[in-house]
Amino acid sequence: MSNFEHVFDRAHARPSTRCRSPLGRYASSALLVAASGLVCAGCQPRGAGQAEMLADLFSGAAAEWIDMSYSYDERAVFWPTAQPFELEVVSAGITEGGYYYAANNFCLAEHGGTHFDAPIHFAEGKHTSEQVPIDRLVGPAVVLDVSAAAEGDPDYQVDVDDLEAWEAEHGRIPDGAILLLNTGWGSRWPDPERFLGTARTGPEAIPELHFPGLHRDAAQWLVDNRRMDALGIDTPSIDYGQSTLFESHRILYAENIPAFENVAALDRLPATGAYVIALPMKIAGGSGGPLRIVGVLPGSPMR
């Protein structure tokens, strides 16, 4: 284990009417502040060595940073009954003062594109978006690849056998891990017919949804036997497309385990050894929201 990885390990503790919400400053600086906290929490500066390590982290010399979020635009995939992304240009030009100024309004449902599910989404009284502790959103990544099985079965559900097979090869899922399910569905983005199973919208589209998810038995096994901090998947929902009871949502969220959906670039992460920083928009009382998630590969210089 490198010194860089050691520091990471020590640091980790466990549809509506059209809106006119101003475009917030959801800047990358917030991501860097959070990453700095992940590296430094629980440890004291130890001179030039650690300072150089941090400098290498942020310069890309000591790690590769992987963007795992899709852009929000007119192609972003949303649930068939949800408000899609809309961008209204307020200003984009030279002002009377002679300087350029750009500003927009945007409107969208909480649960679309690469997004975050707060536990209250399916569990009354559990964490809302702003209540989810940051240590649930950062940590070591465990990547379970079921893309081969899902390729031949769009209704594939990750089951207990998949989890046990992964552990037989890589060891026990560590406490505080962020479990990421790679079904291969990212290759289908942003074609709604291939990604969702239908290009239709509205309630009539729901019975036509087909994409992989997590089986309720596997969700229960994780709750009963492991202590993961969050779950992510590259499909629109942690429950498979034909689900009508959303049992995996209900099982995990009842334990205040949040989830990330429509996660991109899962094929770029190894089964173990990467880290995740997943920062959602902090909506007070929210059931979820847009998510900027990145993977960090220690020892892999940024390309």
Whole-angstrom distance, CA of residue 4 vs CA of residue 40:
11
Mark whether 111 is an active-site residue: no
Catalytic residue among 12, 111, 115, 121: 121
Q: Which residues pair with 170 in a beta bridge?
A: none
Contact predicate 177/140, CB 8 Å:
yes
How far the first Cα of the chain sits from its last, in Å, is 22
Whole-angstrom distance, CA of residue 186 vs CA of residue 262:
8
Torsion angle of alpha carbons 52, 57, 60, 64, nearest 10°?
A: 140
Torsion angle of alpha carbons 62, 32, 280, 17, nearest 10°?
A: -130
- For the chain, the C-alpha Rg in angstroms (whole number) is 20
Residue whose C-alpha is closest to residue 39's, from 73, 65, 69, 70: 65
User: Which residues are catalytically annotated?
Assistant: 121
